[in-house]
């Protein structure tokens, strides 16, 4: 149709894909954080082989910190839809405290306490979603308020006390029982990540969620029920926040009114760092798992080296900033590819 | 700030303006003289060079060497810098008015000063008084300075923008030496109701009474003849007419604009009854649309067009439900849909799809891959027993990329990494592959290179003929309508005013009908 030398033909671009970024850079991007995790393990193992490389320590890292990983996995669902859930640490704390108060203090059967805590998480997610959608408020603000409100309720129902003596039934299935020497909660993490991966990649809901997060108007004009999906994502994060709280209570065998809130920032750091790896450029569950373990390993290793506790905050805060900077660099690099 | 007298004023001369974009000459040696104290009209089709001319004056485009602006006071040199036009006594009200809806009237009024002066403190009560005085001077009443601009009517917003522009001229630093002054109004009346146009015209007369000039750009020729004393007509970047308004009629003006004699008589052919009805819409109202009936046969491509503000651009969105209609019924096959409660999901279920004009924000998710974008509407066809099958989706995407000639053929490439034309092909593939019965197109080739444009138009035709899809194409490009459509509906004042059958479709006729449709609605 076009003769040679037609200027139009040049505009149409080559048929063969041509990428300016070498495949090496792309692969390096994908496996960056997993490699960093290995490097961190090797360094600490070299510096402190007698403490860091013990099964006890590795078990601690894999299992006892599972709470943070579950929380991160909860967070990436609304993030995938383009929304923040800042109330998720409040949900975690309230959920753990409900186990403490209902089971340890009031003697409610543990299964019923768990059901109540999960129902609370789902309700919080639904209220977050309803307020955001019905009144058209940014979930960022709604969940910011909700998070603090939930922490207030924790203080109210606990009287600012710590409750110990959570049912051994829960403690056993969380941290005592082991498979291949690792407490079961580590496997819960893997199961949750696998389910989220399946939903994100192999279901229509997951694909639609991606469009809601990357182009809301595109999603709406493609007939996607944007509001329902956003509420669904916040309900999911509420549910996983509550589940993280149950695991938290099971791990420590008790519930305290304050420590849960400190999980929020590390969870965001892990979610954003996770979005730069495995599937760079989007929030993905396996990236989140690897990133969370990278952060936990770093903090644990530094603690073993005898560095003060302030380092934890510096490390987590710094990681969040670096993660966001990195994701910006990835985006800019991809834009340069076009130009 | 004393009113300037006509005697002091000088005419503004623009000489030898030429601007080229690549091979096209947007302006070719354009000269005109605007007399002081007069409203001067500037008319021409889309693409005739009107907006290029205005952009040259505003310092946005740099003309080729030899261009001269003479405002009578000081020599003007090119390139004009960003806001230097203010120093030459020119001020502009562009089509989009340049107001920020979230801010108050007062804040909008002070924007220019807030951005240009290195003023550290704002004396709000003094500024308020000053703006109130200005409003009084221009008889702009019933406007609350603290109200958000977004809450005002379109007419009030237009007035506000104009008064702001006027005030900019009169209080400029170089006021002492400034005698003339030119206010450029680019299509200010397109969205104004009749009553407010009167107010606007009064305002323009007040302005010229002080010795300033107004350059009035409009498609509404009746209005142009009513308010101007002189009209310059542009066609293909050249001045083809420069006449006193009293010597002109609207018909004469249209002839100058399209460059040939008018053919009289509105001919309309009845739809051939052999084919089945694809889409029927009755009494559609909402936005700028005020009672539209239309029908499209299976396999038929119907264009809909008109001037800015005629409502044609709202029709696809109102049928699709992406913009809520006040009223109306759509019939697809045997099913009837109430358009007042239509929304995109329901429209898609009904087999109606909309291919939006704003590809980047409404059509495609740029940060996702071609595969993900193209298969979004086809997800249910790509399941196996484990869920979505990536390999099936990959095959479909490869087939569609081949079909629609998307280059490069990389299904995993992000859409943002494709050229505009290829993005548009991906958008077409996404929707045409979803097996629709009715396709609504909104400016289908905006921002698309010429080669891709041909491909896209061919694809639409093929889909209509082969699959019997009914197509409604809203477009402001007459060329495109001629190439694509079996029939074209021309809107004016929110209604379909005339209809052109395939046999009578020419670019000139479409343009002519657009102008006469607009004129027939001017009371």
Provide the CATH number for the domain around residue B493. Answer: 3.40.50.300
Taking the Cβ of residue B264 and every Cβ of chain A, the question of whether any pair is shorter than 8 Å is answered with no
Chain A residues near residue B411 by CB distance under 8 angstroms: none
- C-beta atoms of A223 and B450 within 8 A: no
Task: Using DSSP bridges, classify how beta strands B182-186 and B213-217 pair: parallel, antiparallel or unpaired.
Answer: parallel
pLDDT attached to residue A44: 83
Mean pLDDT of the A165-187 span:
88
CA distance B42 to B62: 20
- Domain match, B250 and B298 both: no
Name every residue whose Cβ is closer than 8 Å to that of residue B290 and which is 6 or more positions away in sequence: B311, B493, B494, B495
Minimum-distance CB partner of A338 among B361, B417, B449: B417
Q: For residue A313, give its domain range.
A: 29-338
- Domain match, B248 and B276 both: no
pLDDT attached to residue B80: 67
Minimum-distance CB partner of A13 among B354, B368, B408: B408
CB pairs under 8 A between A and B: 109
Tokens of A6: 């037609």
pLDDT at A218 over 50: yes
Q: For residue B298, give its domain range.
A: 263-351+436-523
Taking the Cβ of residue A8 and every Cβ of chain B, the question of whether any pair is shorter than 8 Å is answered with yes
Give the nearest chain A residue to B384 (CA atoms).
A202
Query: Which helix (H) or strand (E) element contains residue B232?
Result: strand B230-235
- Domain match, B337 and B440 both: yes
Taking the Cβ of residue B361 and every Cβ of chain A, the question of whether any pair is shorter than 8 Å is answered with yes
Which residues sit opposite B91 in a β-bridge? B183
Q: Is A17 within the bounds of a domain?
A: no
Query: Which helix (H) or strand (E) element contains residue B184?
Result: strand B182-186
- Regions of chain B short of the pLDDT cut 70: 1-10, 71-88, 112-120, 168-180, 191, 260-274, 447, 450-451, 521-523
Per the CB < 8 A criterion, the answer to whether A72 and A274 are in contact is yes
Rg for chain A (alpha carbons), in Å?
22
Q: What is the nearest CA distance from B348 to chain A, expressed in angstroms?
A: 7
Taking the Cβ of residue A208 and every Cβ of chain B, the question of whether any pair is shorter than 8 Å is answered with yes
Q: Give B148's DSSP letter.
A: B
The model carries a pTM of 0.78
Q: Which residue has the higher pLDDT, A86 or B212?
A: A86
- C-beta atoms of B451 and A214 within 8 A: no
Q: Is A268 within the bounds of a domain?
A: yes
- C-beta atoms of B345 and A2 within 8 A: no
Q: Is B136 within the bounds of a domain?
A: no
pLDDT attached to residue B170: 54
- Domain match, B198 and B321 both: no
Q: Is A9 within the bounds of a domain?
A: no
- Domain match, B92 and B202 both: yes
> For B35-137, where are the E strands, in sequence order?
39-43, 68-70, 90-93
- Domain match, B280 and B396 both: no
3-state secondary structure of B287: coil
pLDDT attached to residue A257: 92
Q: Is B365 within the bounds of a domain?
A: no
- Domain match, B378 and B442 both: no
CA distance B128 to B110: 10
**Closest alpha carbon to B72 in B10, B7, B8, B5:** B10
Which residue is listed with tokens 């050229």? B419
CA distance A124 to B21: 58
DSSP per residue, B324-352: --SEEEEEETTEEEEGGG--HHHHHHTTE
Residue B362's Cβ-side half-sphere holds a number of Cα atoms within 13 Å equal to 15
- Domain match, B400 and B302 both: no
Q: Is B51 within the bounds of a domain?
A: yes
Last residue of a domain, one of B412, B435, B458: B435
CATH code: domain of residue A219: 1.10.3470
Tokens of A149: 């409100």
Task: Using DSSP bridges, classify how beta strands B438-442 and B470-474 pair: parallel, antiparallel or unpaired.
Answer: parallel
- State phi, psi for B79 to the nearest 5 degrees: -75, 145
3-state secondary structure of A84: coil
Mean pLDDT of the A250-262 span:
90
Taking the Cβ of residue B422 and every Cβ of chain A, the question of whether any pair is shorter than 8 Å is answered with yes
Last residue of a domain, one of B416, B435, B454: B435
CA distance A71 to A78: 12
pLDDT attached to residue A303: 80
- C-beta atoms of A223 and B345 within 8 A: yes
Strand order in the sheet with B24-34: B24-34, B12-21, B68-70
pLDDT at A188 over 80: yes
What is the phi-psi region of residue B311: left when phi exceeds 0, alpha when psi lies from -120 to 50, beta otherwise?
A: left
Chain A residues near residue B408 by CB distance under 8 angstroms: 13-18
CA distance B308 to B220: 10
Question: Average pLDDT over chain A, rounded to whole?
Answer: 86
Output the CA–CA distances (angstroms, integers) from residue B412 to A167, A305, A338, B370, B401, in the order listed.
Answer: 50, 45, 14, 6, 11
Chain B residues near residue A18 by CB distance under 8 angstroms: 408
**Count of domains in chain A?**
1
Q: What is the nearest CA distance from B299 to chain A, expressed in angstroms?
A: 23
pLDDT, tens digit (0-9, with 9 covering 90-100), for A237-251: 999 999 999 999 999
Mean pLDDT of the A156-175 span:
90
pLDDT attached to residue A245: 96
pLDDT attached to residue A67: 94
Taking the Cβ of residue A26 and every Cβ of chain B, the question of whether any pair is shorter than 8 Å is answered with no
- C-beta atoms of A223 and B344 within 8 A: yes
Task: Using DSSP bridges, classify how beta strands B327-332 and B213-217 pair: parallel, antiparallel or unpaired.
Answer: unpaired
- C-beta atoms of B348 and A222 within 8 A: yes
- State phi, psi for A254 to the nearest 5 degrees: -155, 175
Last residue of a domain, one of B237, B258, B279: B258
Which residues sit opposite B336 in a β-bridge? B331
**Count of domains in chain B?**
3
| Cβ within 8 Å of B, A 244-283 | 281
Q: How many C-beta atoms surround the C-beta of residue A235 within 10 A?
A: 21
- Domain match, B94 and B182 both: yes
Per the CB < 8 A criterion, the answer to whether A95 and A242 are in contact is yes
Per the CB < 8 A criterion, the answer to whether B421 and A12 are in contact is yes
Taking the Cβ of residue A220 and every Cβ of chain B, the question of whether any pair is shorter than 8 Å is answered with yes
Q: C-alpha angle with apex A275: B416 to A259, nearest 5 degrees? A: 150
Q: Is B478 within the bounds of a domain?
A: yes
Q: Is B357 within the bounds of a domain?
A: no
Tokens of B16: 């030898």
**Closest alpha carbon to B72 in B1, B207, B178:** B178
Name every residue whose Cβ is closer than 8 Å to that of residue B129 and which is 6 or more positions away in sequence: none
Query: Which helix (H) or strand (E) element contains residue B12?
Result: strand B12-21
Tokens of A236: 């999911």
Which residues sit opposite B355 in a β-bridge? B441
- Domain match, B420 and B454 both: no
- Domain match, B446 and B304 both: yes
Q: How confident is residue A182, by pLDDT bands cut at 50, 70 and 90?
A: confident
3-state secondary structure of A104: helix
Give the nearest chain A residue to B320 (CA atoms).
A221
- Domain match, B186 and B94 both: yes
């Amino acid at each position: 149709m076009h003769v040679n030398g037609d200027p139009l033909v040049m505009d149409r671009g080559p048929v063969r894909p041509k990428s300016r970024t070498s495949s090496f850079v792309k692969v390096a991007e994908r496996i960056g954080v997993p490699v960093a995790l290995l490097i961190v393990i090797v360094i600490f193992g070299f510096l402190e082989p007698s403490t860091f490389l013990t099964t006890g320590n590795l078990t601690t890292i894999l299992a006892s910190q599972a709470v943070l990983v579950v929380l991160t996995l909860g967070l990436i669902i609304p993030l995938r839809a383009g929304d923040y859930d800042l109330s998720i640490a409040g949900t975690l704390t309230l959920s753990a405290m409900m186990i403490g108060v209902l089971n340890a203090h009031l003697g409610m059967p543990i299964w019923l306490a768990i059901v109540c805590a999960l129902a609370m998480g789902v309700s919080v997610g639904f209220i977050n979603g309803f307020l955001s959608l019905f009144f058209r408020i940014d979930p960022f603000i709604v969940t910011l308020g909700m998070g603090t409100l939930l922490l207030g309720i924790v203080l109210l129902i606990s009287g600012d006390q710590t409750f110990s003596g959570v049912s051994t039934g829960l403690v056993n299935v969380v941290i005592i029982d082991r498979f291949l020497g690792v407490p079961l909660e580590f496997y819960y993490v893997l199961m949750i990540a696998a389910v989220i991966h399946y939903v994100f990649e192999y279901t229509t809901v997951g694909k639609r969620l991606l469009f809601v997060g990357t182009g809301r108007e595109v999603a709406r004009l493609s007939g996607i029920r944007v509001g329902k999906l956003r509420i669904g994502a916040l309900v999911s994060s509420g549910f996983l926040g509550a589940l993280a709280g149950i695991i938290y209570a099971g791990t420590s065998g008790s519930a305290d009114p304050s420590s849960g809130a400190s999980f929020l920032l590390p969870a965001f750091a892990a979610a954003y760092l996770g979005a730069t790896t495995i599937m760079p450029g989007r929030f993905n569950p396996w990236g989140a798992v690897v990133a969370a373990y990278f952060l936990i390993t770093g903090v644990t290793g530094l603690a073993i080296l005898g560095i003060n506790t302030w380092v934890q905050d510096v490390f987590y805060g710094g990681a969040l900033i670096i993660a966001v900077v990195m994701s910006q660099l990835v985006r800019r690099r991809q834009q340069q590819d076009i130009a | 700030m004393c009113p300037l007298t006509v005697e002091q004023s000088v005419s503004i001369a623009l000489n030898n303006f030429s601007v080229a974009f690549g091979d096209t000459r947007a302006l070719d040696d354009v000269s005109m003289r605007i007399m002081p104290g007069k409203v001067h009209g500037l008319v021409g089709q889309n693409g005739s060079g009107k907006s290029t001319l205005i952009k040259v004056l505003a310092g946005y485009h740099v003309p080729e060497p030899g261009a001269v602006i003479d405002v009578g006071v000081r020599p003007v040199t090119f390139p004009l810098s960003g806001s230097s036009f203010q120093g030459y006594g020119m001020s502009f009200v562009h089509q989009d008015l340049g107001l920020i809806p979230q801010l108050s009237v007062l804040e909008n009024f002070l924007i220019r000063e807030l951005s240009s002066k290195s003023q550290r403190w704002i004396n709000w009560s003094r500024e308020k008084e000053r703006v109130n005085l200005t409003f009084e001077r221009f008889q702009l009443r019933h406007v609350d300075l603290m109200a958000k601009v977004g809450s005002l009517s379109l007419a009030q917003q237009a007035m506000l923008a104009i008064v702001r522009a006027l005030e900019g001229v009169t209080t400029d630093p170089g006021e002492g030496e400034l005698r003339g002054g030119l206010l450029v109004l680019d299509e200010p009346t397109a969205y104004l109701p009749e009553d407010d146009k009167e107010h606007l015209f009064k305002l323009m007369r007040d302005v010229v009474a002080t010795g300033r000039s107004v350059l009035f750009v409009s498609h509404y020729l009746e209005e142009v003849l009513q308010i101007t004393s002189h009209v310059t007509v542009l066609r293909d970047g050249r001045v083809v007419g420069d006449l006193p308004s009293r010597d002109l009629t609207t018909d004469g003006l249209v002839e100058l604009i399209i460059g040939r004699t008018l053919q009289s008589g509105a001919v309309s052919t009845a739809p051939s009854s052999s084919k089945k009805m694809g889409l029927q819409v009755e009494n559609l109202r909402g936005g700028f649309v005020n009672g539209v009936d239309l029908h499209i046969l299976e396999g038929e491509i119907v264009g809909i067009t008109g001037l800015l503000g005629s409502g044609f651009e709202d029709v696809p969105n109102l049928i699709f439900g992406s913009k809520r209609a006040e009223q109306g019924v759509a019939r697809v096959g045997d099913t009837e849909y109430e358009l007042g409660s239509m929304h995109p999901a329901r429209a898609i279920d009904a087999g109606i799809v909309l291919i939006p004009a704003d590809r980047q924000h409404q059509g495609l998710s740029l940060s996702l891959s071609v595969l993900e974008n193209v298969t979004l509407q086809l997800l249910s066809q790509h399941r196996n027993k484990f869920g979505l099958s990536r390999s099936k989706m990959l095959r479909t995407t490869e087939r569609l990329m081949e079909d629609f000639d998307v280059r490069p053929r990389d299904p995993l490439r992000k859409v943002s990494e494709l050229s505009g034309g290829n993005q548009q092909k991906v958008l077409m593939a996404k929707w045409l592959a979803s097996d629709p019965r009715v396709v609504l197109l909104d400016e289908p080739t905006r921002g698309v290179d010429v080669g891709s444009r041909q491909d896209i138009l061919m694809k639409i035709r093929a889909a209509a003929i082969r699959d019997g899809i009914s197509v409604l194409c809203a477009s402001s490009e007459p060329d495109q309508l001629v190439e694509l459509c079996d029939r074209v509906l021309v809107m004016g004042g929110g209604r379909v005013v005339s209809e052109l059958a395939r046999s009578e479709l020419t670019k000139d006729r479409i343009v002519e009908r657009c102008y006469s449709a607009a004129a027939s609605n001017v009371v």
